Amino acid sequence: MSGNTLVPSPRHQQAEDPSAQVEEERGSGMSSVLLLPDVPETVLPTLHFHANHCMFMQISSLLEGAWAGETRSPGNGLLCLCLELCCLWHGTVIITFSDFLPLLLGSGFQRLILLYQGCNESVGPQVFNIFTLAFPIAHTSVPPTVDCLNQNYKPIDPKILLRNTSFAVWRIVKEGGIDLFLWILMANQAKLMTQQPMVVDELWDQMFEKVERTGFDLPTLNLQLSRDRGLSGYNSWRQFCGISQPSVLETLAQVLRNHGLAENVMQLYGTTKNIDIWIGALAESFVNGGRVGPLMTCLIGIQFRNALDGDRFWWFFTSQQRSSLAQTFLSQIMCDSTHISEVPRLTFKANKYPFGFVSSWNSERTEEGTERCISFKQQRVPACKCEIIRAPKQSS
């Protein structure tokens, strides 16, 4: 994965411009096999799955070596697969709830995502329609270019335009693995989520140019999504969250803390009742310590809280297993799965090398550390108290 090919292919092949290949794939209907639209979104799932997969393949090899005769069976491989998926899922959950959500929701995290008390069968864990519209807040933090770095975190040319990263997973396969893009993600700061401009020009009419006849207008698609699904407007969702609903220019300006922006919104929509949920929620100023406004904090917080409290199949671990899982953090996965020599202490923060970076081979042990990588967790996911509840058998 680091400097090696991710799929079987001739080693003498060089990285090539994908234009001809993409056009060929469009004609043959193959572009749908590229599941993730751009390079950064492909890197982290590849990293996380590869880390767990390699670890459990090593465990499987050791177990197979110890097992003899009839003990070895296809079921053993299934056991390792189940363990692999279980740890992959819970590692992702721990990273999300311990490292990502507190930074995103700020003061709203402690208020909305309470201490886990066990399964609540009255809570539905399904993903709400509104959440799929609220969570693309990351579109406002996307920079216009991918600024390449070397292993020493020094800038190298050329910069890659965002439009050229869509469905360009060939860059990972043919340009040295995921390490290059992990350096970029760790040391380059994302676009600051601001009221003006909300999104960069690269997202207007230029997305997916490599796989479509014309580019897509991503912000407009987000706005259209709520209308296609018949979702209520901005004020209705503020009412759902129990916060004020601005009705005139003056109250909207107070909510947005920006009179000029409020004037533009009112000029466009005419009335606050017509404001689209996506644009209205993104226009709000951030909550204390967070990166989203009050409405986004509410919608995202409720979704993650319900996903945790309402999951009937949340696994029950022993205290030792929970303690081991609590040591999962993104920097550790990067240490274990790549050849990267330095990683940031807090991966989800805006890092600038060398500040906040530590050696991934640091052998010093700390109170919350491991021998290879130091854990810097500020908050742990509470222990699960819910036994697995099996689905009832259907009567014949």
Look at residue 11 and tell me if it is in a domain.
no
Distances in Å between the Cα of 308 and the Cα atoms of 127, 220, 264 are 11, 32, 39
Six token digits for residue 30: 């193959």
Please enumerate in sequence order all residues whose Cβ is within 8 A of that of 133, keeping only pairs 6 or more positions apart, or say none.
Answer: 222, 225, 226, 229, 231, 277, 278
175 close to 188: Cβ distance less than 8 angstroms? no
Asked if residue 238 and residue 139 are part of one domain, the reply reads no
Give the domain range for residue 256: 203-285
- Does residue 197 have a cis peptide bond before it, meaning omega lies within 30 degrees of 0? yes
In a domain, 253, yes or no: yes
Write the pLDDT tens digit of every residue in 219-273.
888 888 888 988 999 999 999 999 999 999 999 999 999 999 999 999 999 999 9
Question: Of 285, 303, 337, which residue is a domain's last?
Answer: 285
Backbone region of residue 257 per phi and psi (left: phi > 0; alpha: psi in -120 to 50; beta: other values): left
Mark whether 60 and 149 lie in a shared domain: yes
- Out of 285, 319, 336, pick the residue that ends a domain: 285
Instruction: Tell me the percentage of the chain whose pLDDT exceeds 90.
Output: 22
81 and 138 part of one domain? yes
Does residue 301 sit within a domain? no
Q: Are 247 and 255 in contact (CB under 8 A)?
A: no
Q: What is the pLDDT of residues 65-114, one digit of tens each?
A: 554 444 444 544 555 555 555 555 667 778 888 888 999 999 999 889 87
Annotated binding residues for heme b, written as ranges, equal: 139
Rounded Cα distance, 317 and 378, in Å = 21
* 53 and 155 inside one domain: yes
pLDDT at 184 over 70: yes
Parallel, antiparallel, or unpaired for β 145-146 and 160-161?
A: antiparallel
| Per-residue tokens: 27 | 């004609």
Read off the CATH number of the domain in which 164 is found: 1.10.640.10
Answer yes or no: is 18 within a domain: no
CB 185 within 8 Å of CB 147: no
φ, ψ for residue 342, nearest 5 deg: -135, 135
pTM (global) more than 0.75: no
> In terms of domains, do 217 and 161 share one?
no
Same domain, 315 and 226: no
- Residue 381 within any structural domain of the chain: no
In DSSP terms, 287 is beta-bridged to none
Check whether residue 214 and residue 185 sit in a common domain. Answer: no
Both 86 and 186 in one domain: the answer is yes
* Cα(281)–Cα(261) distance, integer angstroms: 13
Let me know: does 85 contact 315? Beta carbons within 8 Å.
no
With residue 344 as reference, give the H or E element that holds it.
Answer: strand 342-344
Strands 160-161 and 357-359, how do they pair? unpaired
Q: Is residue 233 part of a domain?
A: yes
Lowest mean pLDDT among 83-92, 108-117, 139-148, 297-306: 83-92
**Is position 132 within any domain?**
yes
Q: Within 10 A of 92 (CB to CB), how many other CB atoms are there?
A: 18
Same domain, 151 and 249: no
**Same domain assignment for residues 119 and 232:** no
Same domain, 43 and 120: yes
| Residue-level pLDDT at 32 | 32
DSSP 208-247: TTTTSSS-B-HHHHHHHHHHHTT---HHHHHHHTT-----
Is 302 within a domain?
no
User: Same domain, yes or no, for 160 and 45?
Assistant: yes
Q: How many domains does the chain have?
A: 2
Indicate the annotated binding residues: 139
